[in-house]
Structure 1
Amino acid sequence: MIPYLSSKNQDLLLFAQKRKKEYASAKPFPSIHIHDFFNAELLEEVLAEFPDLSKGDNIEYNDPLQKKFAGQGEALFGEKTKALMHYLNSEPFLKFINELTGIEEQLFSDSYFSGAGLHEIKPGGLLKVHADFNKHPVNNLDRRVNFIVYLNKDWKEEYGGHFELWDKEMSQCVNRFLPVFNSIAIFSTTSISYHGHPNPLTCPADRSRKSLALYYYSNGRPDEEAIAFKDGHNSIFVKRKSDATDSQDWDAYAERKRKKPLLKRIYRKIFG
């Protein structure tokens, strides 16, 4: 069987110990971006299995703040993808995430891939800067870490799709990188860990931005995070102070939400 990991990080705990200071000290919040994390041959096979998420019974987000597609659970996982995703939800990998992030609470994986799994953004798509939902929708565990695997071969700078990390004042993008093949992003999730892919994707029509996402949870979190996470919340979208298009998009989003109840009332009046 092809190994999951590249030869340079076969000992995950040792790898985590070497990089944990880098993770903890990253700005604007604890995070890390790593190239060539997986065995490239395995990831090639995973990419070959990746379906077109714009087709079939998948989730489509289509409003001014997010234009993307997502799979539901593991129904569309191919054989290699399923093996990799199960490995990333396994005990050894959870211990690696605990060690790298410095999170003291025991971490739990999400076998249902709630909001996680296969993600795809087509040309023109985007995901405005936001902080993620903070509670698991079923068991109410606290969301602590995001792990994202990028699958985009020969990805060029001009295609866009940069993953951006923003400061809590939303005054500047502190870190950004291209979603290139066999690179990963790991970051701690709080109600001010603002991140996203806020500018429309400009890749060719036959390309798309593909990724695998996993989320890790704990039962409770540190006291210093208790106020921000006292109640459960959905994704919190925030405006970039330096970008006028965000205000336009927010106005369009608000207008769209305002019209939806009106359309429902008209529909009920006509059709009962």
Structure 2
Amino acid sequence: METGVDLGARTSDTAGLFLFDRAQMLERARALKDQYASASPFPHIVIDDFLPTDVAEQVLRAFPPIDDPVWLDWRRRDVVHQPKKQGVGHADRMDGVSPVIHHVLFALNSSPMVRFLEELTGIDGLTPDPHFVGGGLHQILPGGRLAIHSDFNIHPSSRLYRRLNVLLYLNKDWRPEYGGELQLWDRSMQVMVRDVAPIFNRCVVFNTDRDSFHGHPDPLRTPEGLTRKSLALYYYTLNCASSDEAERATDWQLRPGEVETAAV
């Protein structure tokens, strides 16, 4: 069930600037933590209307267009598992991105947000990634996809263990026929347990471990020029989850009956 949430965000007089209210966020996390822990196929939650509407609208307006130089060239990346997926790769590439987006990313890495996530998930000692390695901004072009996978588990420079993903979708007037749902698969990769439409201002939080298989594996069916936009933030701890110490790369998976193909 999707959960509406009031996190007590306070907007300022400056466009795009806001603060999360620590006390209200902790109260809401306590109300949602049991739902998070019991979710299948792995701990997760879907929260609608996550940012103040006016802030989310400003982020969407400021989101880089397809031809912005901030994006890495997807043709030079993994065209088998994530064709037509634009990303920035690292904060070093984001100097030209709007201050509105920078501020929201900083807020999502702030102490009130981290405490909210710790209380929600039961994972103590979370550390955000100010460099947004592999995260920050994502955009899927028409025909693009992201194969089912579990994520890499150790940060390449800090060597901290990756524990949580937070995805914030920015897609207004999203239609079911576009596809692009986030799919969550069981640990045996036999059953798709849940799919989540990437609608505007919807946040998905989930544990990331060796068996948290997720993605949107079917090619996006949006009209030309309409993309699937999201912010992606990852959170780490000094210690790993039980039995998840060995370093691993992204673990790509095939669905039953699926065959790998590259984009053309």
Shorter-chain TM-score: what band?
A: 0.7 to 0.9
| Residue 233 (structure 1) shift | 1.5
Choose the corresponding residue for 2:238, options 214, 219, 231. Answer: 219
Residues 55-92 of structure 1: per-residue CA shift (max 9 Å, x gap): 42532244121120102413243111111110111111
Instruction: Write out the 4+ residue segments of structure 1 that deviate beyond 3 Å after TM superposition.
Output: 2-7
Find the partner of 2:55 among 33, 42, 48.
42
% identical equivalent positions: 38
- Select the structure that is richer in helix: 1
Q: Does 1:103 align with 2:123?
A: yes
> Aligned in 2, Cα 1:57/1:13: closer, same or farther, shift over 3 Å?
closer
Q: Does 1:247 align with 2:255?
A: no
Residue 173 to residue 47, structure 1, CA distance change in 2 (3 Å): same
Taking a change above 3 Å as real, the CA distance of residues 248 and 138 of structure 1, as seen in their structure-2 partners, is closer
C-alpha contact (below 8 Å) 2:20/2:107 kept by paired residues: no
**Cα distance, 1:206 vs. partner?**
2.0
1: CA distance, partners of 2:235 / 2:109: 8
Measured after TM superposition, the shift of residue 177 of structure 1 is 1.3
2:28 corresponds to = 15
- C-alpha change, 1:143 and 1:193, in structure 2 (3 Å) is same
Cα drift, residue 176 of structure 1: 0.5
- How far is 1:231 from its partner? 2.0
Q: Matched residues in 2 for 1:40 and 1:87: separation?
A: 15
Q: Which consecutive unaligned segments of at least 5 residues does structure 2 have?
A: 1-11
Q: Which of 35, 40, 43 matches 1:30?
A: 43
Q: CA RMSD in A?
A: 2.0
2:259 is paired with a residue whose SS is helix
Q: 1:197 aligns with which of 203, 209, 216?
A: 216
What are the equivalent positions in structure 2 for 1:30-109 lying under 5 Å apart?
30-56=43-69, 58-59=71-72, 60=74, 61-67=77-83, 68-71=85-88, 72-73=90-91, 74-104=94-124, 106-109=125-128
**Which residue is equivalent to 1:154?**
173
Between 52-61 and 130-139, the greater mean CA deviation after superposition: 52-61
Contact kept, 8 Å, 1:30 with 1:187, in 2: the verdict is yes
SS at match of 1:247: coil
Paired position in structure 1 for 2:3: none
Deviations 1:93-143 (A, max 9, x none): 111110000113x01011111011010000000000000010001011000
Indicate if the aligned counterparts of 1:6 and 1:36 stay in contact, CA closer than 8 A: no
Q: 1:88 to 1:57 in 2, by over 3 A?
A: closer
**Cα gap change, 1:128/1:91 in structure 2, threshold over 3 Å: closer, same or farther?**
same
2-structure distance, mates of 1:184, 1:214: 11
**Which residue in 2 is equivalent to 1:231?**
246
Structure of larger gyration radius:
1
The aligned length equals 242
**1: CA distance between counterparts of 2:20 and 2:114?**
18
- Aligned AA for 1:208? T
Tell me which residue corresponds to 1:116. 135
Q: Distance in 2 between matches of 1:5 and 1:159?
A: 33
Match of 1:207 among 226, 233, 254: 226
**Unmatched tracts of structure 1, length 5 or more:** 254-272
CA deviation map 1:126-178 (0-9, x unaligned): 00000001000101100000000000000000000000000011111101011
Q: Which amino acid aligns with 2:46?
A: H
Inter-CA distance 6–44: structure 2 relative to 1 (3 Å threshold): farther
Deviation (angstroms), 1:248: 4.0
